[in-house]
């Protein structure tokens, strides 16, 4: 078996080459109850920092997506501390000043681009910060659409910006106020409210769980 040596929380292990960091940790005997989630690169729960042999730089990535390398030093982060100010979306206006009012640390951005370098999704994080400073909520939402809120950019930011919380607010404002409403969706909501599908919905609600699962698996999927 082709193996590599990795150091997990300071202890060395021999693991098969080609494993992801997460699978290598489990192979080494770690039982992951935190810092793991979807295992598909979508939830951002497995934020990990590591160094490579002969390289002084600190790298950041998702453990479920990053293959191990020989001599890799790994430290997983079970969560990323980042305070989110309380707000009620219905009380906010879709204006640029809204972002700055709730996240004044945005103004401390020094355009170092460390956030972009830290992003495991390869997002243009600094561009999104600059869009937020300009008050362009729609562009912030578009640039951060694929953000998984892992918090790695926030951990590396010298300005202490809580990026993922800013992006979440921008996407909420964009979705609630700036995105045009789809006519067919509004019509379907009205039909549901009028109980047009009451018979079908009541039948589903009364189904046994196993029957419901079987019906879901057998559903017709549009091309």
Task: Give me the pLDDT at residue 113, please.
Answer: 95
Q: What is the mean pLDDT of the chain?
A: 91
Task: Flag whether pLDDT at 1 surpasses 70.
Answer: no
Nearest of 46, 44, 53, 47 to residue 6 by alpha carbon: 53
Task: Flag whether pLDDT at 78 surpasses 90.
Answer: no
Exposure b/e, 18-32, CB count within 10 A at least 16 = b: ebbbbbbbeebebeb
Q: Is 62 exposed, middle or buried (0-12, 13-18, 19+ CB in 10 A)?
A: buried
Task: Flag whether pLDDT at 44 surpasses 90.
Answer: no
Parallel, antiparallel or unpaired: strands 47-51 and 72-76: antiparallel
Lowest mean pLDDT segment, chosen from 7-16, 23-32, 74-83, 160-169? 74-83
Residue 122 Ramachandran class (φ > 0 left, ψ -120 to 50 alpha, else beta)? left
The answer for residues whose C-beta is within 8 angstroms of residue 182's C-beta and 6 or more apart is none
Q: Decide if 15 contacts 67 (C-beta within 8 A).
A: no
Task: Flag whether pLDDT at 56 surpasses 80.
Answer: yes
Structural domains for the chain: 3-76 (3.10.20.740), 89-178 (1.10.1060.10), 183-217 (no CATH)
Task: Flag whether pLDDT at 12 surpasses 70.
Answer: yes
Residue 34 gets which letter from DSSP? S
Task: Give me the pLDDT at residue 63, please.
Answer: 92
Task: Give me the pLDDT at residue 223, please.
Answer: 73
Q: What's the average model confidence in pLDDT over 195-209?
A: 91
Strands across the sheet with 3-8, in order?
11-16, 3-8, 72-76, 47-51, 59-62
The alpha carbon of 154 is separated from its chain's Cα centroid by a whole number of angstroms, namely 13
Of the pLDDT bands very low, low, confident and very high (cuts 50, 70, 90), residue 60 is: confident
Q: What's the average model confidence in pLDDT over 203-209?
A: 91
| Structural tokens at position 144 | 């951060």
Q: Which residue has the tokens 């590396």?
A: 156
Task: Flag whether pLDDT at 91 surpasses 80.
Answer: yes
Task: Flag whether pLDDT at 110 surpasses 90.
Answer: yes
């Amino acid at each position: 078996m082709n193996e590599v040596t990795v150091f997990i929380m300071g202890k060395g292990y021999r693991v098969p080459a080609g494993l992801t960091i997460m699978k290598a940790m489990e192979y080494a005997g770690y039982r992951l109850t935190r810092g793991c989630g979807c295992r598909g690169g979508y939830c951002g729960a497995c934020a990990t920092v590591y160094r490579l042999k002969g390289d002084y730089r600190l790298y950041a990535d998702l453990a479920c997506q990053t293959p191990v390398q020989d001599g890799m030093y790994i430290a997983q982060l079970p969560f990323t501390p980042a305070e989110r100010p309380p707000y009620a979306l219905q009380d906010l206006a879709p204006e640029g000043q809204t972002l700055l009012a709730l996240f004044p640390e945005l103004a401390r951005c020094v355009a170092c681009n460390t956030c972009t370098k830290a992003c495991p999704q390869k997002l243009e994080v600094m561009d999104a910060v600059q869009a937020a400073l300009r008050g362009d909520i729609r562009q912030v939402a578009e640039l951060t659409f694929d953000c998984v809120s892992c918090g790695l950019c926030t951990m590396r930011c010298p300005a202490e910006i809580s990026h993922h919380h800013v992006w979440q607010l921008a996407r909420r404002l964009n979705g609630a106020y700036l995105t045009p409403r789809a006519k067919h969706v509004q019509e379907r909501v009205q039909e549901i409210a009028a109980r047009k599908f009451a018979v079908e919905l009541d039948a589903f609600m009364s189904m046994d769980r196993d029957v419901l699962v079987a019906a879901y698996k057998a559903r017709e999927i549009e091309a």
